[in-house]
Amino acid sequence: MSNDLPLPTADDIAAAGRRIADMAIRTPLLENPRVNDRLGGRLLLKAEPLQRTGSFKFRGAYNFISQLTPAQRRAGVVAWSSGNHAQGVAEAARLLQTAATIVMPIDAPAVKVANTRASGAQVITYDRIKDDREAIARELADREGRTPIPPYDHPWIIAGQGTIGPEVLDQARTMGAVLDAVIAPCSGGGLSTGIATAVKALSPITQCFAAEPAGFDDLARSLAAGTIQRNAHLTGSFCDALLAPCPGTYTFALARRHLDGSLVATDEEVGAAMELAFREFKIVAEPGGAVALACMLNGRLPIKGRTICVVCSGGNVDGVLFASVLSADRRAAV
Amino acid sequence: MSNDLPLPTADDIAAAGRRIADMAIRTPLLENPRVNDRLGGRLLLKAEPLQRTGSFKFRGAYNFISQLTPAQRRAGVVAWSSGNHAQGVAEAARLLQTAATIVMPIDAPAVKVANTRASGAQVITYDRIKDDREAIARELADREGRTPIPPYDHPWIIAGQGTIGPEVLDQARTMGAVLDAVIAPCSGGGLSTGIATAVKALSPITQCFAAEPAGFDDLARSLAAGTIQRNAHLTGSFCDALLAPCPGTYTFALARRHLDGSLVATDEEVGAAMELAFREFKIVAEPGGAVALACMLNGRLPIKGRTICVVCSGGNVDGVLFASVLSADRRAAV
């Protein structure tokens, strides 16, 4: 079905913005003068941990389900996800009175599984190594007539996540800022390419980057090769939200067209970025949510004399892991 | 000087709101449907950790310094504070190009001392038990011609902190909510009585409460006695921001007039509230910042079928302490 749809445009993203406006939170764009002083530039942090369900994923899920026909909504939806898409779909389904079944990895953070169930969704677990989650979900979709909601490679999902683009441009304007660049975390690429699609149309001078964890830099390597490249492993970064095996067909096409590149940060750098988000911005960032900040803090993109918007994409992290990050000696230099 | 001024009014608070509008952040009013479901009511959380300097104290400090004469600003200011007022004054002074000296307890959280210095203020430390911080500050004021900025008992400070009142009423309205009650943390009472002064004028049906840590419930006891009562101790709660010895003259007069009471929570309950703020709202609350939430979560005020706004007043907490709170087994029942 999705392969019949054209690539999403800035207009599609504007329409998605209107569709989700009453339900999604317009999360704040945070700024800290002390951090700016130390960086010698202006860092604007988009705080999507404060989004409904604790991550940006609600945007795409709500944009998707709200476009289903009444008959499709009655038949229900099915999704596969390491956790944030799961919660986004479950909550959007609850609000739109649609039954959701979610296929989640058995090692997903407990908080993500619990929250998915709390929104009323049915959860089915799978093994990241042995099982094919997409096959499990598609089989369910065929058997029960449910609509599958892909985590990233669908124009409606990409358009929903992309609504962050116009939002940060508008918020930056209110703050008297013109964005030199936007960096967004990247797993399958729905968020980073959605944002880039909107931003390049509305503010062509603004550069757009994805950010990936080291060892899971499939998009960076795909852009370099000109063809879709896969990650060597399916587990092994503590950025549990960013372990998609490769870019999607839609997201790769958009990445080649609109992204200026994909930056990479190590787990160690991500931990330090989480600590900075805690200490200076008072928000809870999960590992995958902090990877764009980690890239910025570690000089993957120069900020001196410039204004850079970093998307912090989610905050669904277990307390024990967060405590270990704060206890470890990994303060960012900033 | 301050004793010549009348009690602040809702009009004074509205004027303060206009004065700080360009510099203070209109912090978000957060809501979580999952938490609401469990409570059986509507909880709106005012996220002042996202305020400039990480707490509400910037509001009062900026409102105060911006009313000084050019000569007073040139002579500088002096304040005494366990940390949040220190940072608020230091940052407001920096923005208004005024030199600030801050008298801080030697056991203040390291992050609060570091941040006060980072705003360019001079820090002088004192011993909570042995020294009289107010005397040290007043001596400095006399010797150097600096204007003292009291932490709470001054109409300009109270009016600044009170700006949260009209803000939450307006934000609640946008969310289709009418507030049955507002609860705000209380040390000397500037925040809770400022909010109550505005709210009782703008929304007489809304109840207003202060919230204090157990053992430091001087306002609750003062309201019961009808005269100002002091705390037995000056240290001993982990709510380091809420250890003022007694209500002020202004704040007690306002409390008697506008507050419906002062609620009390234990340190254990405060720790569980911090964990809930982390897990469900993705914000960093310091102990003193979470005491109103702790009161609400522990039934000090019924929320079933009602809408209650809880002010989370600050997020300046050291990582090691925050990690210990997340690691301890003190989940809130909600």
Catalytic, out of A46, A57, A112, A200: A57
Residue A331 confidence (pLDDT) above 90: no
> Which residue among B108, B131, B153 closes a domain?
B153
Same-domain pairing of A211 and A297: yes
The catalytic residue among B57, B66, B82, B222 is B57
The residues pairing with A311 across neighbouring beta strands, listed in sequence order, are A46
Nearest CB partner across the interface for B278, out of A284, A324, A327: A284
**Do A194 and A49 fall within a single domain?**
yes
Q: How far is A316 from chain B (nearest CA, A)?
A: 8
In a domain, A288, yes or no: yes
pLDDT digits (tens, 9 = 90+) for A105-120: 888 888 888 889 999 9
- Residue A22 class from Cβ within 10 Å (0-12 exposed, 13-18 middle, 19+ buried)? exposed
Q: Any chain B CB within 8 A of the CB of A327?
A: yes
- Token code pair at residue A280: 């200076």
Residue B326 clears pLDDT 90, i.e. is over it: yes
Is residue A334 in a domain? no
Q: Indicate the residue among A101, A122, A154 that finishes a domain.
A: A154
- The candidate with the shortest Cα–Cα distance to A12, out of A65, A63, A72, is A63
Q: Is A248 on the interface with B (CB under 8 A)?
A: no
What integer pLDDT is reported at residue A134 of this predicted model?
Answer: 85
Residue A194 within a domain: yes
Rounded distance between C-alpha atoms, residue A148 and residue A145, angstroms: 9
Instruction: Tell me which amino acid residue B248 is.
Output: G
User: How many percent of chain B have pLDDT more than 70?
Assistant: 97
Residue B272's alpha-carbon distances to B202, B285, B334, in angstroms, are: 33, 11, 10
Question: CA B173, CA B183: separation in Å to the nearest integer?
Answer: 17
Q: Please state the domain count of chain A.
A: 2
| Cβ contacts of A278 on chain B, cutoff 8 Å | 284, 319, 322
pLDDT for res A313: 98
Task: Check if the beta carbon of residue A295 is closer than 8 Å to that of residue A267.
Answer: no
Identify the pLDDT of residue B123: 95
A319 and B275 within 8 Å at the Cβ level: the answer is yes
Residue A86 clears pLDDT 80, i.e. is over it: yes
A106 and A230 belong to one structural domain: no
Q: Which residue has the tokens 């202060």?
A: B210
**Do A323 and A285 lie in a common domain?**
yes
In a domain, B332, yes or no: no
Query: Chain B closest CA to A128's CA: distance in Å?
Result: 25
**Residues of chain B contacting residue A281, judged by C-beta atoms under 8 Å apart:** 50
Q: Is residue A290 part of a domain?
A: yes
Between B155 and A131, whose confidence is greater? B155
Scanning A268-287 for CB atoms below 8 A from B yields 275, 278-279, 281-284
Q: Is residue A157 very low, low, confident or very high in pLDDT (cuts 50, 70, 90)? A: very high
Which tokens sit at B89? 């004054």
On chain A, the residues whose CB falls within 8 A of the CB of B322 are 278, 323, 326
Closest approach of A22 to chain B, Cα-based (Å): 10
User: What is the tens place of the pLDDT at every residue in A202-233?
Assistant: 999 999 999 999 999 999 999 999 999 999 98
Domain range spanning residue B301?
Answer: 2-54+156-327
Task: Out of A33, A50, A279, name the one closest to residue B30 (CB).
Answer: A50
CATH code for the domain in which residue B7 is found: 3.40.50.1100
Same domain, A192 and A302: yes
Is residue A116 domain-shared with residue A234, that is, in the same domain?
no
pLDDT band at A1 (very low <50, low <70, confident <90, very high): very low
Same domain flag for A213 and A283: yes
Residue that finishes a domain, picked among A154, A171, A205: A154
Is B231 within a domain?
A: yes
- Which member of B34, B282, B323 has the closest CB to residue A283? B282
Q: Is there a catalytic annotation at residue A313?
A: yes
Closest chain B C-alpha to A282 CA, distance in angstroms: 5
Q: How much is the average pLDDT of B188-217?
A: 97
Same-domain check for residues B216 and B145: no
Mean pLDDT of chain A, nearest integer: 94
CB pairs under 8 A between A and B: 75
- Interchain CB distance below 8 Å, B327 and A315: no
Q: Are residues B291 and B228 in the same domain?
A: yes
Q: Please check whether residue B64 is in contact with residue B160, taking contact to mean a CB–CB distance below 8 angstroms.
A: yes
Segment B211-239 mean pLDDT: 93
Report CB contact under 8 Å: B283, A283.
yes
CB of B20 within 8 Å of a chain A CB? The answer is no
| Whether B314 and B172 share a structural domain | yes
Predicted local confidence at residue B1, as pLDDT: 42
Percent of chain B with pLDDT over 90: 84
Does A274 have pLDDT greater than 70?
Answer: yes
Q: What is the pLDDT of residues B71-81, one digit of tens each?
A: 999 999 999 88
Nearest to A28 among B28, B284, B315 (CB): B28
Q: Are residues A80 and A216 in the same domain?
A: no
**Minimal Cα–Cα distance from B9 to chain A, Å?**
30
B281 pLDDT higher than 60: yes
Which of A28, A34, A327 minimises the CB distance to B118? A34
**Whole-number Å distance between alpha carbons of B56 and B74:** 25
ipTM of this model? Answer: 0.94
**Amino acid letter at A203?**
S
Q: What is the pLDDT of residue A107?
A: 86
Least confident of A92-96, B28-32, B106-110, B287-291: B106-110
The C-alpha of A280 sits at a distance from chain B's nearest C-alpha, in angstroms, of: 8
Residue A179 DSSP symbol: -
All residues of chain A having their beta carbon less than 8 Å from the beta carbon of residue B52 are 33
pLDDT at residue A264 greater than cutoff 60: yes
**Structure tokens, A190:** 């729905």
What is the spatial distance between Cα A302 and Cα B182, in angstroms, rounded to a whole number? 44
Residue type, B192: S
Query: Per-residue pLDDT averaged across B89-112, rounded?
Result: 92
Q: Is A332 a member of any domain? A: no
Q: Are B50 and B61 in contact (CB under 8 A)?
A: no
Residue-wise pLDDT for B240-255, tens only, equals: 888 888 999 999 999 9
Residue B85 lies in a domain: yes
B191 plus B310 within the same structural domain: yes
pLDDT at position A235, please?
80
Whether residue A304 lies in the annotated active site: no
pLDDT at A109: 82
Contacts of B33 in chain A (CB under 8 A): 52, 91
